[in-house]
Amino acid sequence: MRVFRGLPNAESKAPCALTIGNFDGVHRGHQALLARARAAADARGLPLCVMTFEPHPREFFNPAGAPPRIALLRDKLEALRAAGVDRVVVEHFNQRFASQSADAFVHDTLVNGLHARWILVGDDFRYGAKRAGDFTALQSAGKEYGFEVEQMATLADPEGARVSSSAVRAALMAGEIDDATRLLGRPYMISGHVIHGQKLGRDLGFPTLNIRITHKRLALAGILVVRVHGLAPEPLMGVASLGLRPTVDDSGRILLEVFIFDWHGDAYGKIVRVEFMKKLRSEARYVDLDALKAAIGRDVAQARAYFSLPPAIQPSRGAATGVTDRIS
């Protein structure tokens, strides 16, 4: 899969089958739409292209009121690749793009930019300034410019509830990871490079892997049971903190910190995928580091019990923790 920041250049004259959307989470509804688009692209001998946006349009128009993100861009792109997409255009959503008329979006982006020959949209799709364009307008434009247009209804679960990013987001915000997993059709994961941290976890006896989160708000937060992929042939079990770390940091930046059980190794610079299994509790502010350390100890015990692991052996004062100091 090829990824373009903005409209592609070298391949811009190659016709494509296209679908457009934010695809936050790439949940089961998105997957059904992508499967239909993949089949149509194959039937017409076209590559399948996805146009998505960064930042999310709602973040651009109302940063304070925008919904929390489900997925980081890296994870969204991986899910699109797994769905069989050939090209992804990550369009920078800015004032220039937002102010395009509906006609200009069709002519400049869909026709001259992407050379779309077949387009699939969801039943809530709108385009152009003030969301002036709709499915009927896109159909009319297709007759003028020579591309086909299809619309796909929103997927519903067996109970009739809409499968949507909003539903996934609500499940994650409520800490209902099993519900989010069902809506996503796969485990909920966050991936990223392991970076150097403050080394505070090591000083407390719980050295952690650290992954910086680029977005200001994520749908999931708190203390979580996790599995870590990418450091060993099998997933490694652990406990994670995802959030603002209110006891030790007032920067407002989100960080994912993971303490892996019974493992040592050099993880800096590696890309890992953290799979979330269960939420234990929300973040809390503690009066001092001793109180924080005691809370972490309780979290570790709960997470080990979740995996049916025996309690950790507590090192004597001054003894090594059994985890390399290459983890911060």
List, for residues 44-67, the tens digit of each pLDDT value: 999 999 999 998 888 888 888 889
Residue 176 covered by a domain = no
Average pLDDT in the 224-253 region? 86
Largest pairwise CA distance in the chain:
78
Phi-psi category of residue 50: left, alpha or beta, with phi > 0 → left and psi -120 to 50 → alpha: beta
Q: Are 141 and 101 in contact (CB under 8 A)?
A: no
> For the domain that residue 28 is a member of, what is the CATH number?
3.40.50.620
Q: Confidence band (pLDDT; 50, 70, 90) for 121?
A: very high
Task: Indicate the average pLDDT of the chain.
Answer: 88
Domain encompassing residue 236: 188-306
Q: How far apart are the first and last CA of the chain?
A: 34
Residue 280, in any domain of the structure: yes
Q: Would you tell me how many other CB atoms lie within 10 Å of the CB of residue 54?
A: 15
Whether 318 maps to a domain, the answer reads no
Domain identity same for 251 and 162: no
Question: Does 179 fall in a domain?
Answer: no
Residues 199, 155 within the same domain: no
pTM exceeds 0.95, yes or no: no
Indicate whether 7 and 148 sit together in one domain: yes
Residue 182 lies in a domain: no
**Rounded distance, CA 124 to CA 105, Å?**
17
Per-position b or e across 110-136, b if 16+ CB within 10 A of its CB: bbebbbbbbbbbbeebebbeeeebbbe
What pLDDT is attached to residue 204?
Answer: 66
Angstrom distance (rounded) from CA 261 to CA 209: 12
Structural domain contains residue 35:
yes
Q: In this structure, which amino acid lies at residue 106?
A: V
